[in-house]
Amino acid sequence: MKQTWRWFGPKDQVSIDDMLQAGVQGVVTALHHIPTGTVWTEQEIAARQAVLAHMEDGTPSNLAWDVVESLPVSEDIKKQQGDWRAHIDAYRQSMRHLAAAGIKVICYNFMPVLDWTRTSLTHRLPSGATCMRFDLTDFAAFDLHILQRPGAAEEYDAALCEAAARRYAAMSGAERDALAGNVVFGLPGAAEKFTLEDVRAHLAEYAAMSEDTLRAHLIDFLSEVVPLAEELGLRLCCHPDDPPFALLGLPRIMSSEEQYVKIMQAVDSPANGITLCSGSLGARPDNDLPGMMARLGDRVHFLHLRNVTRETSDVRGSFYEAEHLGGDTDMVALVEAVLKEEARRKASGRADWSIPFRPDHGQDILDDLNRRAQPGYPSIGRLKGLAELRGVIAALEPRIGL
Ligand code: DNO
Ligand code: MN
Helix (H, G, I), strand (E, B) or coil at 132: strand
**Is the distance from CB of 324 to CB of 308 less than 8 angstroms?**
no
Domains of the chain by residue range: 2-116+186-400
What integer pLDDT is reported at residue 184 of this predicted model? 82
Catalytic residue among 277, 320, 324, 368: 277
Helix (H, G, I), strand (E, B) or coil at 371: coil
What integer pLDDT is reported at residue 314 of this predicted model? 92
Provide the pairing of β-strand 272-277 with 235-239: parallel
The CA distances from residue 241 to 99, 257, 277, in Å, are: 26, 12, 9
CATH ID of 2-116+186-400, from 3.40.718.10, 3.90.230.10, 3.20.20.150, 3.40.1010.10: 3.20.20.150
Task: Give the other-Cβ count within 10 Å of 158's Cβ.
Answer: 8
What integer pLDDT is reported at residue 208 of this predicted model? 85
User: What phi and psi, each to the nearest 5 degrees, are found at residue 126?
Assistant: -55, -30
Q: Is the CB of 75 under 6 A from ligand 1?
A: no
Please tell me the distance from the alpha carbon of residue 237 to that of residue 117, in angstroms, as a whole number. 20
- E strands, 316-386, are 319-322, 356-359
Rg (CA), the chain: 20
Catalytic residue among 12, 115, 360, 364: 360
Residue 322: name the closest of 287, 375, 371, 283 by CA.
283
**Nearest residue (CA) to ligand 1, atom 3:** 189
Residue 250: name the closest of 108, 79, 76, 72 by CA.
79
Please tell me the distance from the alpha carbon of residue 228 to that of residue 262, in angstroms, as a whole number. 21
Taking the CA atoms of 237, 70, 353 and 327 in sequence, report the sign of the dihedral they define. Answer: negative
What integer pLDDT is reported at residue 186 of this predicted model? 59
Q: What is the pLDDT of residues 243-297, one digit of tens each?
A: 999 999 999 999 999 999 999 999 999 999 999 999 999 999 999 999 999 999 9
What integer pLDDT is reported at residue 189 of this predicted model? 60
**Is the distance from CB of 119 to CB of 183 less than 8 angstroms?**
yes
**Residue to mutate, 113, 116, 274, 382, ligand 1, most ligand atoms under 8 Å from C-beta:** 116
Q: What is the pLDDT of residues 298-310, one digit of tens each?
A: 999 999 999 999 9
**Residue to mutate, 5, 8, 28, 69, ligand 1, most ligand atoms under 8 Å from C-beta:** 69
Judge if ipTM > 0.90: yes
**Is the distance from CB of 68 to CB of 107 less than 8 angstroms?**
yes
Q: Is the CB of 69 under 6 A from ligand 1?
A: yes
**Is the distance from CB of 207 to CB of 249 less than 8 angstroms?**
yes
Residue 97: name the closest of 65, 75, 73 by CA.
65
> 156 catalytic, yes or no?
no
Residue 187: name the closest of 147, 134, 150, 126 by CA.
134
Q: What is the pLDDT of residues 60-74, one digit of tens each?
A: 999 999 999 999 999
**Is the distance from CB of 4 to CB of 364 less than 8 angstroms?**
no
What integer pLDDT is reported at residue 360 of this predicted model? 95
**Is the distance from CB of 314 to CB of 246 less than 8 angstroms?**
no
| Residues whose beta carbons lie less than 5 angstroms from ion ligand 2 | 277, 304, 360
Angle at 33 between CA 249 and CA 80, to 5 degrees: 40
Strand partners, 236: 106, 272
What integer pLDDT is reported at residue 372 of this predicted model? 83
- 174-177, long-range: CB within 8 Å, 24+ apart, which pairs? 176/146
Q: Is the CB of 241 under 6 A from ligand 1?
A: no
Q: What is the pLDDT of residues 342-369, one digit of tens each?
A: 999 999 999 999 999 999 999 999 999 9
What is the full per-residue pLDDT of the chain (402 aa) written as tens digits? 999 999 999 999 999 999 999 999 999 999 999 999 999 999 999 999 999 999 999 999 999 999 999 999 999 999 999 999 999 999 999 999 999 999 999 999 999 998 889 999 999 999 999 999 999 999 999 999 999 999 999 999 999 999 999 999 999 999 999 999 999 865 556 656 788 999 999 999 998 899 999 999 999 999 999 999 999 999 999 999 999 999 999 999 999 999 999 999 999 999 999 999 999 999 999 999 999 999 999 999 999 999 999 999 999 999 999 999 999 999 999 999 999 999 999 999 999 999 999 999 999 999 999 988 889 999 999 999 999 999 999 999 999 998
Q: Which residues contact 295 (CB under 8 A, 6 or more apart)?
A: 257
> 107 catalytic, yes or no?
no
